[in-house]
Structure 1
Amino acid sequence: MKTFLTLIFLCHGASAVKHSLKYFLTGISGTTNSPEFAGIATIDEVEVGHCDSIIGKAEPIEDWARKVVNNNPQVLEWYAKECLVHQHFFKANMEVFKQRLNQTEGSHILQRLSGCEWDDESGEIEGFDQYGYDGEDFIALDMQALTWITPKAQAVVIKHLWDTEEARLDLVKTYYLSECPTFLKEYLPYGMSFLQRTERPSVSLLQKTPSSLVSCHATGFYPDRADLFWRKDGEEIHEGVEKGEILPNHDGTFQMNSELNVLLIKHEDWRRYECVFQLYGVKDDIITTLDKTEIQTNWVSPSEFLVSPAVGGAAGVVLLLVLSGFLYCCRRKGADFQPVRGDLGKEEES
């Protein structure tokens, strides 16, 4: 599931002038502790509302999203109704998918990502509607041709079935190319100050062992339009560099890392290398020079576990004194308590 959603974010990530309204829906069949159905709504990749089959209603999350529904109560009613409709839709289609794929047992996951993007400079609008099944891309709608496309041979029969549902196709196109952008433009003013904020990260150099890659780790930044790279003598480099993806933190901020193979670098050249973090909307970059004294690590040298000769000698002397004292006490006890078996024997003879 995480892989599927990550791929979706990469395919539909927000750019400098694009805004998005997206819906993530998940249905689960079989016995599970999770809700049978759950939905999340995001604006510019920020979760603003959710619903599921347990709470049975739609709820806003961000304070500014609550202002939207307070000023427009019908919005929350509409989303609550849509949540219930899609819950039944998912349950019915889950059974169709299982039948078409000859699946009779086990738990399965059906996911849907749909929504729209609006370029506030060019006015261009893009709609999308796609499904994943058991963690893999399954079927998606070509919004212009109004036909379903699929990378899975098993889904071809479902594609042909859905292509015949012309009324549904028209409704989907109307919503995602017309109504969805309208909603997005109405919601944006409420959350613009929140959505357009910038938060600079903390940047650290990390290393597991002296022979490991040095990781330049940036965490706590917002928005997710950022870059992190290594450069040498002011020029960006790619050789010996492994760049990671931007990942979300639990508090709504993001993190990422870029690793450098320092084994390829002479120690006297280390300070010629820099890790550079750039954040959209922020003029000044965060630059961290490759410096061994600044690297954080939990690694402990094996030699630190060995006791030095001086410490070992002192410990040996202490141990010898303790043993000597113990033997001395034992001998004293032996002198004070002599065996008396012989005397008792003589008494018995007499």
Structure 2
Amino acid sequence: MTVYRVLFLVTTFVAVVPVWTEKHSLYYIYTALSKDVGVPGVYEFTAMGLLDDREIDYYNSKDQLKIPKQPWMRQKMETDYWDKGTQSRKSKEQWFKVNVKILMERMRQNESDVHVLQWRHGCEIEREQPENEFRFSRGIDEYSYDGQEFLSFDNMQSQWVAPVPEAVATKTKWDGVDILNKYTKGYLQKECVDWLNKFRTFEEEGLRMSSRPEVFVFARNSIKDRTRLTLTCLATGFYPKDVMMAIRKYRTALPEMEIESTGIRPNHDGTFQLRKSVDIKEDEKADYDCFVTHKTLSEPVMVKWDGKCHGCQRETGVGFALGVVFGVLIMGAAGLGVFFLWKKKLGCFNANPERPDGQNDAARAFISNQEPPQENGSANGHAVNGLSLLQNDCTVHLPTVTE
């Protein structure tokens, strides 16, 4: 594949929803290229964990380290967690390297082209009011090759689905290993959900420690009328998401019908932002301010507009900086959602939330009639129906696509 194409899929659902629903997700995405493309920042293998579409950990084939991408992950997870995660992802990197070559041979593809194998797995939960309880919503375990579906797990039927002829042999072999399908379903419905809830708790605890809103007020030329200014109030970095904001004139809140609002949006770090704007006369010298209240504040924050339009003629000084800050915040909130619409559509038990390489300790215990080992499992190996099941701290091998 010599030309990279990114497919942006935007699906709009129109439905009548009788009750409010809160949803959360935990996914892991692995991407392997058939060769180094020589582009800075693009690696032969990358892996990342996503909590509610926010990156929580990352690994690439150059640095070969699983690292935290959120402060609360660094604070809450012990060194041993990252060590084991690094070893697990090194193992997956080797698995992907082998199987990209296998698929290229199977499809008689030219080695001079670049080919991509991806794997995504994880789970979603939802809470409907008034029950106020989270429940498993759906699980996904799917592979894509060169941006097209290759193989996916049907969680309801507990079997693999092959949408292309080249995947039929793999589906047949994997469906013949009953323990693999049992484990995959169990991981999606139980183990993944347990880790999702655990991470959400850690995130909430971490955000409560440093989640006060930062507030900015600035003016720019109005897009609608060049003789007027758009006065904007921006509050960002706050958690939880409930916040109250008012643009005030002479300390009196302007009517909401005159205000344009972005609504509360997520930032990349799990906090939130809110922007409200109003058009005013270009030469107006009124006393405007932004008034924000939030549960983390002992008293409301009031930031007064300095009366200047920093972006009207040229972007200089503070006005330019605020404009850049705002742009970065908005792109940061939206960028992750776009990035994770990947080309097509896009550890161990009690030790690593990721689905290990094929099975976890629970699956190995099922085979060997043992209890799942804790963080330091034995090094005994088992081979069942062509699956290599090595019992040493998360280093288990996925079945290859030829099996």
- With normalisation by structure 2, the TM-score equals 0.47
Q: Closer, same or farther in 2 for the Cα pair 1:199/1:230, shift >3 Å?
A: closer
- For 1:20 and 1:63, locate their aligned partners in 2 and report how far apart those are by CA, in whole Å: 17
- 2:195 aligned residue: 183
1:83 CA drift (Å):
0.8
Q: Could you tell me which amino acid in structure 2 is paired with residue 234 of structure 1?
A: E
The change in CA–CA distance for 1:158 and 1:56 in structure 2 (over 3 A counts) is same
- SS state of the match for residue 182, structure 1? helix
Instruction: Report the Cα offset of residue 23 of structure 1.
Output: 1.8
Paired position in structure 2 for 1:307: none
Please state how far the C-alpha of 1:173 moved relative to its aligned partner.
Answer: 1.8
Contact kept, 8 Å, 1:247 with 1:256, in 2: the verdict is no
Tell me, in whole angstroms, the C-alpha distance in 2 between the residues paired with 1:158 and 1:224.
Answer: 48
Deviations 1:156-207, CA, capped at 9 Å, x for gaps: 2355445432234433222222222233445555554114564424355554
Match of 2:114 in 1: 107
The alpha carbon displacement at 1:119 in A equals 4.7
Q: Do the aligned partners of 1:200 and 1:220 also contact (CA within 8 Å) in 2?
A: yes
Gap regions ≥5 residues in structure 1: 9-14, 301-350
Distance in 1, matches of 2:240 and 2:147, equals 24
Is 1:202–2:218 an aligned residue pair? Answer: no
2:140 to 128, 135, 138: 128
- Whole-angstrom CA distance in 2 between matches of 1:234 and 1:21: 37
Shift of the 56–41 alpha-carbon distance from structure 1 to 2, 3 Å rule, reads same
CA-based RMSD of the aligned residues comes to 5.6
Q: Does 1:297 pair with 2:311?
A: yes
Task: State which structure, 1 or 2, has the greater radius of gyration over its C-alpha atoms.
Answer: 1
1:16-27 → structure 2 map (5 Å cutoff): 18-27=23-32
- CA positional deviation for 1:58: 3.1
Task: Output the CA distance in 2 between the equivalents of 1:131 and 1:230.
Answer: 48
Whether 2:35 is the aligned partner of 1:30: answer yes
Which residue is equivalent to 2:64? Answer: 56
> How many angstroms apart in 2 are the aligned matches of 1:299 and 1:113?
48
Work out whether 1:143 is the aligned partner of 2:148: no
Partners of 2:150 and 2:167 within 8 A in 1: no
- Which residue pairs with 1:193 in the alignment? 205
- Give the residue type in structure 2 aligned to 1:156: V
The Cα shift of 1:110 comes to: 3.7
Residues in 2 aligned to 1:136 and 1:257: alpha-carbon distance in whole angstroms:
39
Contact 2:264 2:272 in 1 (8 A): no
Q: What pairs up with 1:1-350 in 2 under 5 angstroms?
A: 18-31=23-36, 32=38, 33=40, 34-45=42-53, 47-60=55-68, 62=71, 65-69=74-78, 73=80, 75-76=81-82, 78-96=84-102, 98=104, 100=107, 102=109, 104-119=111-126, 121-126=132-137, 127-131=139-143, 140-146=152-158, 156-158=164-166, 160-164=168-172, 165-166=174-175, 167=177, 168-187=180-199, 189-196=201-208, 198-204=211-217, 207=220, 218=234, 220-222=236-238, 233-235=255-257, 248=267, 296-299=310-313
Q: Call closer, same or farther: CA 1:230–1:5 in 2, change over 3 Å.
A: farther
Asked whether the 8 Å contact 2:28–2:49 carries over to 1, the reply is: yes
* TM-score of the two chains, using structure 1 as the length reference: 0.53
Where is the helix percentage greater, Structure 1 or Structure 2? Answer: 1
Cα drift, residue 106 of structure 1: 3.1
Higher mean C-alpha displacement, 187-196 vs 228-237: 228-237
- Bigger relative contact order, structure 1 or 2 (CA pairs below 8 A, ≥6 apart): 2
- Aligned mates of 1:277, 1:142 — CA distance in 2: 48
Q: How many residues align?
A: 278
Query: Percent identity at matched positions?
Result: 19
Q: CA deviation at 1:2?
A: 12
Deviation at 1:122, TM superposition (A): 2.0
Cα 1:21–1:101 change in 2 (3 A) is: farther
Aligned to 2:346: none
> Does the 8 A contact of 1:42 with 1:49 survive in 2?
yes
Q: Deviations over 1:276-297 (max 9, x none)?
A: 9999999x99999xx9x66542
Distance (Å, rounded) in 2 between the aligned partners of 1:76 and 1:140: 28
